[in-house]
Structure 1
Amino acid sequence: MSDVQFARIETASHGPLSLEYRWLNPELADAPLLVFLHEGLGSVAMWKDWPQQLCDAGGFRGLVYSRNGYGRSTPRPHGEKWPVDFMHRQAREVLPAFLDAVGIGPEQAERVWLVGHSDGGSISLLFSAAFPDRLAGAVVLAPHLFVEDLSVQSIAKTKTVYETTDLRTKLGRYHDDVDSAFWGWNDIWLDPAFREWNLVGAVASISKPLLAIQGEDDEYGTMAQMDSIAAHVAHATVVKLPACGHSPHRDAPVPLGEAIVAFIGRHHPSANRQAA
């Protein structure tokens, strides 16, 4: 894995931002490029070695970055609350600007695949719907399309754990401003106004290949999320992993990796030659 770098972008809603990122297998210039979007408490470091392992297994190039508010990227200003449409802003404003800043333009679309987990999966869905001319397809792990009681209950429990245990210290290993990361995510998800947030209408317009994967024991969402994708994106491939929680890349890395490599290989045959 190469050293961390920083991209500086200008945004209408967040102002100037500095986003940390790392390239994986940068020498594979003609290979599919996987852009990894982390979960609601994730970052470049929080992914650990899984993106590298996936890229090595499939012969992919990779790009891992931390959204503003996370990792070593520009933190969320204390006292500022994410708006209900914060994921829409990430998908339609921040991510396109970031890709431009690191040299990934529409001319590379046929090689670009988004790989998003949880909130990152939701952002990937929104980007796929809004910018079909900028990617080859997307893989989403445990994405949220709407807010469920289970999600709110689990996030409320996480708040208690953060306030009463050493979770804050543990997360501090992955974020320069851990309170920025945690409360930005926790406050908006527990805001009553957020119960109306819904992506179902948006995902229906996705035209590029889509692989959606979720663990059957996901503590933050039910299979209703996968069923909604299957119902509204007819061409999507949906995989439900047994004995797997909210983080398939940690709970079931082998079947997850095999599913992703096979899926991208079907749509980008040169990936198989790279892996070989």
Structure 2
Amino acid sequence: MQNPAIPPLASEFSDLPATASHGPLRIEYRWVNETAATAPIAVFLHEGLGSIAMWRDWPQTLCERLGMRGLVYSRPGYGLSTPREHDVKWPVDFMTAQARDILPALLDALDIGMQERTRMWVIGHSDGGSIALLYAAQHPDELAGAVAIAPHVFVEDISVESIAQTKQLYETTDLRNKLGRYHADVDSAFYGWNDIWLNPAFRTWSIVGELDTIQQPLLAVQGHDDNYGTMAQIDTIGERVPHAQLVKLDACGHSPHRDAPDALNEAIATFIKSPSKAPTSTPARSPK
């Protein structure tokens, strides 16, 4: 049942058939800058507690800057997409399944053909950044390039500590009510994300090995004040993907599209317009 606090903001829905990795799914999606019908597509992959609504107007702003169309969707368990059943725990490789199964199935359902996919960019934040990296690794011939914003490629203590603190806030403050504005089933969204990250089995999760197969242009962005991960995340990307470009933002936390949108948009636009000319590591200051 839809949460009445979530306004119907022109979302559409796509039904995906069951596969070996998931049951039938209804995926909430939305096109932005849709009038640019022949432009390349940018697919936006949200964070661990994100949804279409939580992006707000950033995808629209960035797509207008890039001259692209944007496909924004809520992953299963989030927004108005099929909720996670409360007795279901996500597996350690849940992000791999998102890149391998869910996103390709959605592209198929929306009739996004191979020619369009070769011009497509994936732009992901946090868990979505990890999914963007995995998609780039798994589908090297179906992508123009990828942007990973505050991604995770392995689990750090700082991540687990911050996620444990978020659980306490969710259960003792009004955080649950605030998140409820963005998800039809807020407990499904929160505990799906929180439980897997706090699962001891997840401490050994890593996608570092998968990075080696990324061939297309790749930009990785991290804020210096990120309380969910250190620069070791994107530095590791730089080590494993020599052609990757790194941008490190001052005065910026875990959400550069909210903390430093001008600096982030400039970095992405510069990279996509001329990825081969971008410096290997660019310190960028966000406006004070």
The TM-score range, normalised by the shorter chain, is over 0.9
CA distance in 2, matches of 1:258, 1:59: 14
The aligned residue for residue 244 of structure 1 is 252
Are 1:8 and 1:16, in contact at CA under 8 Å, matched by a contact in 2?
yes
CA distance in 2, matches of 1:219, 1:80: 28
Alignment match of 2:12 (pick from 5, 10, 15)? 5
The aligned residue for residue 209 of structure 1 is 217
Structure 1 or 2: larger helix share?
1
CA distance in 2, matches of 1:158, 1:83: 21
TM-score (norm 2): 0.91
Are 2:41 and 2:121, in contact at CA under 8 Å, matched by a contact in 1?
yes
Alignment match of 1:61 (pick from 61, 69, 77)? 69
Alignment match of 2:40 (pick from 26, 32, 35)? 32
Cα drift, residue 12 of structure 1: 2.1
Are 1:105 and 1:134, in contact at CA under 8 Å, matched by a contact in 2?
no
Are 2:41 and 2:116, in contact at CA under 8 Å, matched by a contact in 1?
no
Alignment match of 2:125 (pick from 117, 122, 127)? 117
121-130 vs 23-32, which deviates more?
Answer: 23-32
TM-score (norm 1): 0.95
Structure 2: 5+ residue stretches without partners:
1-8, 277-288
Q: Which runs of 4+ in 1 moved over 2 A?
A: none
CA distance in 2, matches of 1:107, 1:55: 20
CA distance in 2, matches of 1:106, 1:67: 22
The aligned residue for residue 272 of structure 1 is none
1:1-276 matches, cutoff 5 A: 3-10=10-17, 11-266=19-274
CA distance in 2, matches of 1:252, 1:229: 22
Deviations 1:121-179 (A, max 9, x none): 00110010001111110001000000000000000000000000000000000000000
CA distance in 2, matches of 1:114, 1:12: 25
Are 2:146 and 2:219, in contact at CA under 8 Å, matched by a contact in 1?
yes
Cα drift, residue 267 of structure 1: 5.3
Higher relative contact order (CA 8 A, sep 6+): 1
DSSP-derived class of the 1:91 partner: helix
CA distance in 2, matches of 1:132, 1:106: 12
